[in-house]
């Protein structure tokens, strides 16, 4: 009897121990499994975060769409502004320079290419100024005549004098128009890049104008560009001769820098960089063309006094 009771008690305790052990093992397994699944989820979330970071930063810069894909450059237009866009892209990618340097380098090359036009413009202006006194005298004589027949004869004299001395207005101002077309083509080329915009241009600046696709928040670039326009007018840059201009037109020229400043404040910084660079090159060219040795080498004569 005693042996049976001892055996029964032992079995009951054994079953209790086994059940408790089993429950502890199950709790441990469940806790461990929950911990493992949580760790996996955290790792997956971390991995997704890394992938998102790579997508946002790496893919935007390394795998930027080409000009062909964006329809820019010669792939979008064979007009001058499309050609200049391709030139800017090649300078940026081949030379490996940031966009602001690409704009400066391309502008330097472009202004160097049109330098002969500037020289021709200055020669034409000097030639016209040399004959201006005689032209004014002939016009005054024509205005004095009251007889229509005599006035027509005086007008014919003026035309004959202009033809004899090669003083046709179209020839005088054609180089200025050609230079203007080239410069405006560069303007539209850069504006097309910033309007899209080309994503890498948003970090292609320097100093306070890092983002070339937005306007300069300090207004420094627009101010410098407007101020250099004023200096250009003062110095007669790009072949301009202010001496023979009417007083009203001179005043209009000096108002131009004031009018241009508020407009330029709305331009993206890339355009202001271009405009400022172009103006500085014009000023340097003007100083060079005032040096006697340079004028002699380029056969630029002084205005003949008559």
Residues pairing with 206 in the sheet: 209
15 and 114 share a domain? Answer: no
The answer to whether residue 88 is domain-embedded is: yes
Q: pTM of the prediction?
A: 0.70
Q: Whose CA is closest to 202, among 191, 214, 190, 192?
A: 214
Residues 59 and 74 in one domain: no
Q: What is the pLDDT of residue 51?
A: 40
What is residue 165's predicted lDDT score, i.e. its pLDDT? 85
DSSP state of 167: -
- Give the C-alpha separation, 291 to 299, whole Å: 12
What are φ and ψ of residue 96, in 5° steps? 70, 30
Residue 306 falls within a domain, yes or no? Answer: no
Q: Which domain holds residue 205?
A: 70-132+168-297
106 and 250 in a common domain: yes
> In terms of domains, do 85 and 49 share one?
no
Does 86 lie in the same domain as 15? Answer: no
Structural domains of the chain, count = 2
* Same domain assignment for residues 91 and 201: yes
Q: Tell whether 152 is covered by a domain.
A: no
Flag whether 183 is in a domain.
Answer: yes
pLDDT value of residue 27? 47
Are 56 and 81 contained in the same domain? no
Neighbours of 237 (CB within 10 A): 22
Residue 46, domain member (yes or no): yes
Q: Give the per-residue pLDDT at 257.
A: 85
Write the burial class of residue 106 (CB in 10 Å: 0-12 exposed, 13-18 middle, 19+ buried).
buried
Quote the CA–CA distance of 274 and 184 in Å, as a whole number.
11
- Work out the number of other CB atoms within 10 angstroms of the CB of residue 17: 10
Q: Which helix (DSSP H) or strand (DSSP E) does residue 140 occupy?
A: helix 115-144
Same domain, 111 and 214: yes
Would 21 be classed as within a structural domain? yes
Same domain, 19 and 36: yes
Last residue of a domain, one of 33, 63, 93: 63
Rg of the chain in Å (alpha carbons): 39
Among residues 276, 305, 285, the alpha carbon closest in space to that of 119 is found at: 285
What SS3 state is found at 1? coil
CA distance 147 to 189: 55
Whether omega for the bond prior to residue 95 falls within 30 degrees of 0, making it cis, is: no
Tell me, yes or no, whether 146 lies in a domain. Answer: no
Contact partners, residue 217, CB within 8 Å, separation at least 6: 208
User: Where does a domain end: 46, 63, 80?
Assistant: 63
Residue after which a domain boundary falls, among 30, 63, 96: 63
Distant-in-sequence, close-in-space partners of 296: CB < 8 Å, separation ≥ 6: none
Taking the CB of residue 236, how many other CB atoms lie within 10 A of it?
16
CA separation (Å) from 299 to 114, 124, 142, 302? 17, 12, 35, 10
216 and 82 in a common domain: yes
What is the predicted pLDDT for the residue at 304?
60
Verify that 115 and 17 share a domain, yes or no. Answer: no
Low-confidence ranges of the chain (pLDDT < 70): 1-63, 171-172, 237-250, 303-306
Whether 126 and 30 share a structural domain: no
pLDDT of residue 146: 79
Residue 3 belongs to a domain = yes
Tokens describing residue 214: 């937005």
């Amino acid at each position: 009897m005693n042996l049976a009771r001892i055996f029964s008690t032992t079995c009951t305790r054994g079953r209790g121990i086994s059940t408790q052990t089993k429950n502890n093992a199950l709790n441990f397994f469940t806790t461990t499994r929950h911990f493992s699944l949580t760790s996996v989820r955290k790792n997956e979330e971390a991995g997704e975060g890394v992938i998102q970071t790579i997508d946002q930063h790496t893919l935007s810069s390394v795998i930027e769409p080409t000009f062909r894909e964006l329809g820019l450059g010669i792939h979008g237009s064979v007009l001058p502004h499309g050609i200049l866009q391709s030139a800017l892209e090649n300078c940026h990618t081949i030379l490996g320079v940031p966009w602001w340097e690409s704009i400066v380098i391309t502008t330097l090359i472009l202004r160097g290419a049109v330098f002969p036009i500037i020289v021709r413009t200055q020669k034409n202006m000097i030639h016209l100024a040399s004959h201006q006194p005689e032209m004014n005298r002939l016009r005054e004589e024509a205005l004095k005549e009251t007889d229509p027949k005599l006035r027509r004869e005086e007008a014919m004299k003026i035309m004959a004098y202009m033809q004899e001395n090669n003083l046709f207005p179209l020839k005088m101002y054609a180089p200025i128009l050609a230079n203007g077309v080239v410069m405006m083509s560069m303007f539209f080329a850069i504006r097309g890049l910033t309007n899209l915009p080309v994503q890498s241009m948003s970090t292609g600046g320097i100093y306070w104008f890092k983002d070339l696709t937005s306007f300069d928040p300090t207004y420094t670039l627009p101010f410098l560009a407007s101020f250099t326009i004023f200096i250009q007018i003062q110095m007669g840059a790009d072949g301009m001769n202010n001496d023979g201009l009417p007083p009203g037109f001179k005043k209009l020229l000096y108002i131009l820098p004031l009018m241009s400043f508020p407009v330029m404040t709305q331009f993206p910084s890339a355009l202001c960089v271009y405009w400022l660079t172009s103006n500085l090159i014009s000023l340097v060219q003007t100083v060079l063309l005032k040096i006697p040795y340079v004028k002699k080498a380029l056969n630029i004569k002084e205005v003949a006094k008559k």
